[in-house]
A and B are shown apart, each in its own frame.
Chain A
Amino acid sequence: MHRPIQSISRELPGRPERLLLLPDQLVFPLDARTHRGAVQTCVRSGETLGAGQVIAEGEWQTLHPPLDGVGTEAEANRGVIRPSSEQTPMAADPMPLDDRARLPDYLRLMGLVGMGGGCFPYARRLARLLDKPPHTLVINAVECEPGIGIDESLMLHEKRFVLEAVNTFTRLLGMKRTVLAVRRSARGHLETAWGGEAIDWLEMSDTYPGGAGKLISAKLTGHMPQPGTLNSDLGILITNVASLRAFGKRLLEGCPSVDRPLTLLTPNASARQLLVPLGISAGDVLRTCGVTLDAERQVLVAEGRMMGRAVELGFCVGKGTNALMVLNRESRWERPEQPCILCGSCFDACPLTLHPIGMANRIRAQRRSRALEAQLNTCFLCGACSAVCPVDIPLVQIFREGKQWLRKNS
């Protein structure tokens, strides 16, 4: 038996605070893996750059600096800019969009990606949908990673951008219905801001991973999608709140995707919701917020306790960084794994009713089968099974490697 991981936060997320600072440098990864496709820098060393100017472009993605600065030579798959002003952008005119055919290019030029962590370019996603547009738009405001509150904060305090984006998507794609997916316990306070809108509410559970796209579409349709089925095949477009806000900001203020709303969580303090310039280092964010990291006793985690990873102070905030967390180290994180005692907790924890330890054993023994492929392709690496394992078997890491192994050998 396992205890579900509760996503409930007791506090109402506050208004996002804009972080004003002049960092030494802003770093942008230029590798194809991060951007789901190649991007080429168009900055010469020593070139003066304005905030919001294009610094790299790819087939589906564009990058812009959030601050004025000077470009340096791109090295080791990353572009570095030395900022010269701490003012975040950007005085531009609204950039409304009325032509559906222009939507992918519009999204590419503003550099919109899925900001829930996947970082999949919206341009690529929407280009696929133009022929067969979805009928339902889902605003995924289910903040299921424990401790993160940024999406709910944006829903409460940056509603006008989110709403503008929703209206534009539904108008351009001719969608018939908008669904707002929320955590059960968050519905009350979100209704104060969104109660009057013509949307349907979808309550998801208060436990992790209630906000997973698969679970949302399963709840919408009544069945779990079969492996390989995309939400778009079911006529559903699930969008992240931070992405909608970025799109709305472009529509209303002409501003490209240059900042990242994120939650900063530190021990013994309330969570802070921040608007952080892209490319800034985690160390700069902590310093500006007056947080010190005791490397002996604490660990810095990016993107959430469940799906995130331990990072160093030099880690640069990217479009998928929805949280920075300073956590006190726990001995269980460092303990070596022991043999499985078959307690069954991982089976209970899996939201897709997969067989985690069965998969892990077969991956380690490299025993490929139809059942393994079906399950591994369904698994979305939420880590709920790893979190409940009493003997610390790194199940989710095994599945990540297993997926690569399957891909390599298919």
Chain B
Amino acid sequence: MAQKEQLKGPFLRSGMDVRGMMWAMMSCLILTAAHFSLRYDGAYFPRFLLVVFLGWAMEWLYGLLCDGRSVWPRVSTGVTGALLALSVPAHMPLLPLLCGLLVAVWFGKCIVDRSALRVNPMILGRLFLMLVFAAPIQEWLAPGREISAITSATPLGLYKAEGITYGLGKLITGSIQGDWEGVYEMLPGAPGEVMPLLALFFGVILYWMGVLDWRPGVAFMGSFAIACAFLKMPILFHAAAGSVIFTSVYVITDPRSTPGSKAGRWMAGAVAGAITAAVRWHGYYPEGVVFGVLAANLLAPTLDRLAFALRGIFPIIGKKFRPFSNRWKLLS
């Protein structure tokens, strides 16, 4: 009975717990990897699993070395490993990839996650790869080939080099193959981004299950589209090529690194979208999501504080009610 006294309400809980949320996300990422493996490269799936398990091993090792105890790794670390494996070229050499994974897990998950800083660990790992292993992270090889006979390009790379847009229908269904005028061999991009329709489908499922919030993703895509229009870039091509949709479903929605408040989420999504478009327009890299998301992540605590402080100035905002009837005015 004494124990019962300590039970605290509410005695009804809605939605999943955090493990359930992470496993739901993990399942979608595993299916995405399986899809890539079935359609483009049979050897990819075991490699994907290897990266996920190595991510877990790294977290376990960190616990052993730094905290002196063996801790069961978290599902969210598996999600970080899976996201990283799905965001880099399928044939990226394993050594740089593992360095990126180490940065993502040790710094992103084990160190930054415990601090007040909010950065998506996968983005941290990817940023490390872009800065330190700039060549391997941009090398797209056809399955089974060690080196390319002719220059290969992803749709986004082709746009960057030649200003040519790839067919929209092919882009959203992930039908990327053949060559462009005998100059470039067309290859799909990173495994996670090849079929935006699939990412969108999983996004809807995760939203329906209560795992994702739609606001940051919608704000990201909306501001990306507006920025593209402003910079006179083809909006639909840019939305479908590269990892815009993958990011809006899996990355910008990451709870730990985006603001918690609704207003903060809208703002963070908008910032990330605009910066992504700007980098695509005039950056060194064809893809700009890493910089966009990183900027939004670094702004997250400030955006949350701002949203909170505004409630002191406007105590009741956000919710508007339709007056019950205009008889109210007559009475009051």
- When chains A and B are docked, how far (Å) is the Cα of A370 from the Cα of B313? 8
Asked if A390 contacts B17 (CB within 8 A), the reply is yes
Closest Cβ of chain A to B197, distance in Å, is 21
Q: Which residues of B contact A351 (CB under 8 A)?
A: 319
Residues of chain A from 297 to 324 with CB closer than 8 A to chain B in the complex: 299, 301, 305-310, 312
Q: What are 15 contact pairs spanning A and B, CB under 8 A? A: A1-B214, A3-B15, A176-B331, A218-B319, A305-B11, A306-B12, A309-B9, A332-B17, A333-B8, A333-B13, A343-B18, A354-B311, A358-B304, A388-B13, A388-B14
| Residue A58 interfacial (CB < 8 Å) | no
Closest Cβ of chain A to B21, distance in Å, is 6
* Given A310-B7, A353-B318, A222 contacting B323 (CB threshold 8 A): yes
User: Looking across the interface, which residue of chain A has its beta carbon closest to that of B317?
Assistant: A353
| Residue A120 interfacial (CB < 8 Å) | no
- When chains A and B are docked, how far (Å) is the Cα of A370 from the Cα of B312? 5
| Residue A135 interfacial (CB < 8 Å) | yes
Asked if A386 contacts B18 (CB within 8 A), the reply is no
| Residue B50 interfacial (CB < 8 Å) | no
| Residue B63 interfacial (CB < 8 Å) | no
* Given A390-B16, A396-B9, A396-B10, A218 contacting B260 (CB threshold 8 A): no
Q: Which residues of A contact B4 (CB under 8 A)?
A: 295, 299, 310, 312
| Residue A97 interfacial (CB < 8 Å) | no
Asked if B315 contacts A226 (CB within 8 A), the reply is yes
A residues with CB within 8 A of B? 1-5, 135-136, 146, 176-177, 179, 200, 202, 218-227, 234-235, 295, 299, 301, 305-310, 312, 325, 327, 330, 332-334, 338, 340-349, 351-355, 357-358, 369-375, 378, 383, 386-388, 390-392, 394, 396-397
Beyond the given A301-B11, A312-B4, please list 7 additional residue pairs across the A-B interface where CB-CB is below 8 A. A327-B11, A347-B262, A355-B311, A369-B312, A371-B311, A387-B13, A390-B18
Q: Which residues of B contact A226 (CB under 8 A)?
A: 315-316
| Residue B231 interfacial (CB < 8 Å) | no
Q: Which residues of A contact B11 (CB under 8 A)?
A: 299, 301, 305-306, 308, 310, 325, 327, 330, 333
Asked if B255 contacts A344 (CB within 8 A), the reply is yes
| Residue B211 interfacial (CB < 8 Å) | yes
Asked if B311 contacts A374 (CB within 8 A), the reply is yes
Asked if A221 contacts B18 (CB within 8 A), the reply is no
- When chains A and B are docked, how far (Å) is the Cα of A374 from the Cα of B17? 30
Asked if A1 contacts B207 (CB within 8 A), the reply is yes
Closest Cβ of chain B to A309, distance in Å, is 6
Closest Cβ of chain A to B12, distance in Å, is 4
User: Looking across the interface, which residue of chain B has its beta carbon closest to that of A147?
Assistant: B12
Asked if B325 contacts A200 (CB within 8 A), the reply is yes
- When chains A and B are docked, how far (Å) is the Cα of A372 from the Cα of B308? 8
User: Looking across the interface, which residue of chain A has its beta carbon closest to that of B325?
Assistant: A200
B residues with CB within 8 A of A? 1, 4-5, 7-18, 20-21, 118, 207, 210-214, 255-256, 258-262, 265, 304, 307-313, 315-325, 327-328, 331-332
Asked if A305 contacts B304 (CB within 8 A), the reply is no
Q: Which residues of B contact A370 (CB under 8 A)?
A: 312-313
Asked if A305 contacts B321 (CB within 8 A), the reply is no
Closest Cβ of chain B to A170, distance in Å, is 13
Closest Cβ of chain A to B306, distance in Å, is 10
Q: Which residues of A contact B309 (CB under 8 A)?
A: 369, 371
Asked if A220 contacts B304 (CB within 8 A), the reply is no
User: Out of B21, B304, B317, B322, which one reaches A343, CB within 8 Å?
Assistant: B21
Closest Cβ of chain B to A143, distance in Å, is 15
Asked if A221 contacts B332 (CB within 8 A), the reply is yes
User: Out of B14, B16, B312, B315, which one reaches A5, CB within 8 Å?
Assistant: B14
* Given A146-B12, A343-B255, A220 contacting B1 (CB threshold 8 A): no
Q: Which residues of A contact B211 (CB under 8 A)?
A: 1
* Given A218-B319, A218-B321, A224-B316, A375 contacting B311 (CB threshold 8 A): yes
Asked if B17 contacts A224 (CB within 8 A), the reply is no
Q: Which residues of A contact B118 (CB under 8 A)?
A: 342
Q: Which residues of A contact B17 (CB under 8 A)?
A: 332, 390-392
- When chains A and B are docked, how far (Å) is the Cα of A347 from the Cα of B261? 6
Asked if B331 contacts A306 (CB within 8 A), the reply is no
Q: Which residues of B contact A222 (CB under 8 A)?
A: 320-324, 328
Asked if A1 contacts B9 (CB within 8 A), the reply is no
* B12, B14, B311 pick with most chain A CB within 10 angstroms: B12
Asked if A306 contacts B10 (CB within 8 A), the reply is yes
Q: Which residues of B contact A334 (CB under 8 A)?
A: 7
Q: Which residues of B contact A305 (CB under 8 A)?
A: 9-12
Q: Which residues of A contact B213 (CB under 8 A)?
A: 1, 343-344, 348
Asked if A355 contacts B13 (CB within 8 A), the reply is no
User: Out of B1, B9, B318, B323, which one reaches A383, CB within 8 Å?
Assistant: B9
Asked if A312 contacts B7 (CB within 8 A), the reply is no
Closest Cβ of chain B to A64, distance in Å, is 30
Closest Cβ of chain B to A173, distance in Å, is 13
Q: Which residues of A contact B322 (CB under 8 A)?
A: 219, 222
Asked if B332 contacts A135 (CB within 8 A), the reply is yes
Asked if A342 contacts B260 (CB within 8 A), the reply is yes
* Given A222-B328, A343-B21, A375 contacting B315 (CB threshold 8 A): yes
User: Looking across the interface, which residue of chain B has its beta carbon closest to that of A340?
Assistant: B260
- When chains A and B are docked, how far (Å) is the Cα of A202 from the Cα of B10? 27
The 8 closest A-B pairs by CB, nearest first: A371-B312, A222-B323, A353-B318, A370-B312, A343-B255, A342-B260, A305-B12, A374-B315
Asked if A307 contacts B316 (CB within 8 A), the reply is no
User: Looking across the interface, which residue of chain B has its beta carbon closest to that of A236?
Assistant: B332
User: Out of B10, B18, B214, B265, which one reaches A341, CB within 8 Å?
Assistant: B18
Asked if B9 contacts A310 (CB within 8 A), the reply is yes
Q: Which residues of A contact B12 (CB under 8 A)?
A: 5, 146, 305-306, 387
User: Out of B10, B16, B265, B316, which one reaches A344, CB within 8 Å?
Assistant: B265
Asked if A2 contacts B307 (CB within 8 A), the reply is no
- When chains A and B are docked, how far (Å) is the Cα of A265 from the Cα of B168? 57
Asked if A177 contacts B9 (CB within 8 A), the reply is no
- When chains A and B are docked, how far (Å) is the Cα of A342 from the Cα of B324? 35
User: Out of B5, B255, B308, which one reaches A355, CB within 8 Å?
Assistant: B308
Closest Cβ of chain A to B91, distance in Å, is 34
Asked if B212 contacts A391 (CB within 8 A), the reply is no
User: Out of A135, A349, A374, which one reaches B312, CB within 8 Å?
Assistant: A374
Asked if B9 contacts A342 (CB within 8 A), the reply is no
Asked if B13 contacts A3 (CB within 8 A), the reply is no
Closest Cβ of chain A to B122, distance in Å, is 16
Asked if B210 contacts A2 (CB within 8 A), the reply is yes
User: Out of B10, B256, B260, B331, which one reaches A135, CB within 8 Å?
Assistant: B331
Asked if A2 contacts B14 (CB within 8 A), the reply is yes
